[in-house]
Amino acid sequence: MMRSPQEPNRNGGLRTPSPRQRNQSQFQSTVSVQKHRRFNILILIFRFAAFCFSLASAIFMFANSRGGSDLDSDSLRWYHFDAFRFVAIAAAIVALYSLFEVGASVWEISRGATVFPEAVQVWFDFSHDQVFAYMLLSADSAGTALARTLRDRDTCTANNAFCVQSAISVALGFAGFMFLGFSSLLSGFRVVCFILNGSRFHM
Amino acid sequence: MMRSPQEPNRNGGLRTPSPRQRNQSQFQSTVSVQKHRRFNILILIFRFAAFCFSLASAIFMFANSRGGSDLDSDSLRWYHFDAFRFVAIAAAIVALYSLFEVGASVWEISRGATVFPEAVQVWFDFSHDQVFAYMLLSADSAGTALARTLRDRDTCTANNAFCVQSAISVALGFAGFMFLGFSSLLSGFRVVCFILNGSRFHM
């Protein structure tokens, strides 16, 4: 073990540890920093996956227009259906939020500090994950129900591409929901760690 | 303050507290028990509300059959529609789960102990609250989308009672989801308290 007598006393002068104790706690804190880094990279991956899937879902739905002009009776537009509007807007909101969270995650990994103060950040992440996960699930369930009823009607025989594209968009939305749910679990774990230790570092 | 020298030593003989200290900690634990009781009664109320609303939602949907026999082409049955089946079954599952949780809550308030071991109970409550809340929201969103598309078709002009009854069932389901969400918040709080203190008693 290396000795580092020039290292400043981190305990605020209350108790002077022996060099051996100090080295050991340094070693433990290095392990904890590495674990914390791996945890953050896992969050980043989930966030990025949620961003990709929800963005793809939003693009597929926003581009979902078939038939001639808006005035034709047989033209199909995503914004003529309430549930599809909900799917498109929910996916777009989740994509924006996930993009922000990817940025926040990269910031945290590179600089070692959260964007907002730590207490705000952990609660912000967890609450928004929960609310947006509920919203996305609700939108995609409604989209599924609408897509199934459209299949029973003449709509899908007349213009199958519209139905297929809607179904793909809804499926991508469900994948986005899944990754948002995983992120929500991890950010919930961070909240518990923060309450336990007064720090987002786990254990 | 009253003295109670015959009170057994609760600290396991490690440290004998003065009678004054002992009385104070007794007083504090009485306050904590009262708080805990009020918290449990709040959970019981939310559980009972979730039970009532989801049971009503399930009954409204299960009884939702109009028209003559099953063979008539104009007869409407809830089980002919995927989304309505999902609404009925999800509401029934949540009603059963809430009934069990009402029982567990009453047991805990009357006997002061949980049905399962404490660690199992707090995690069981929280995880099931979360999963069933997602399920109920998903079912009711799908039900809403179907009810809206039925209104655009001839179905509702021909048999309005069927549509109205479906809409009521879905609305009751959303109310049930709301109370289940509140219960989920409280049981999440219990999980955090359990991790913090090693006991479900808060603070």
Among A14-23, B77-86, B99-108, where is mean pLDDT lowest? A14-23
Which of A21-25, A74-78, A149-153, B177-181 holds the top average pLDDT? B177-181
**Taking the model in full, what pTM does it have?**
0.81
DSSP lists the bridge partners of residue A76 as: A66
The percentage of residues in chain A with a pLDDT greater than 70, rounded to a whole number, is: 80
Closest CB to A146 among B138, B145, B153: B145
Instruction: Give the tens place of pLDDT for each residue, B179-203.
Output: 999 999 999 988 888 888 777 664 4
Note whether A144 contacts B: Cβ–Cβ < 8 A.
yes
> Does ipTM top 0.85?
no
Give the whole-angstrom CA distance, residue A140 versus residue A83. Answer: 8
Place of tokens 């089980």: B79
For residue A69, what pLDDT is reported? 64
| CB B50 within 8 Å of CB B98 | yes
Q: For A83, which residue in chain B has the nearest alpha carbon?
A: B145
**pLDDT classification of A9: cutoffs 50, 70, 90:** very low
Beta strands A76-77 and A65-66, pairing class: antiparallel
| CB B40 within 8 Å of CB B109 | yes
Best residue in B80, B81, B138, B180 to probe A by mutation, most A CBs within 10 Å? B138
DSSP assigned state of A79: G
| CB A142 within 8 Å of CB A148 | no
Give the whole-angstrom CA distance, residue A192 versus residue B189. Answer: 10
Structure tokens at B125: 């409550």
Interface of A with B in 62-121 (CB under 8 A): 82-83
Instruction: Give the tens place of pLDDT for each residue, B108-141.
Output: 999 888 888 989 999 999 999 999 999 999 999 9
Note whether A195 contacts B: Cβ–Cβ < 8 A.
yes
For residue B200, what pLDDT is reported? 66
Within chain A, strands assigned E span 65-66, 76-77
Structure tokens at B113: 């102990």
Exposure of B68 in the CB half-sphere (CA atoms within 13 A): 4
Residues of B in Cβ contact (< 8 Å) with A146: 145-146, 149
Mean per-residue pLDDT of chain A: 84
Residues of B in Cβ contact (< 8 Å) with A195: 192, 196
Closest CB to B137 among A138, A191, A195: A138
| CB B170 within 8 Å of CB B140 | yes
Instruction: Give the tens place of pLDDT for each residue, A39-64.
Output: 999 999 999 999 999 999 999 999 99
Beta strands A76-77 and B65-66, pairing class: unpaired
Instruction: Give the tens place of pLDDT for each residue, B152-171.
Output: 777 788 788 889 999 999 99
Summarize chain B as % helix, strand, coil (round to 5).
75, 0, 20
Give the whole-angstrom CA distance, residue A143 versus residue A78. Answer: 11
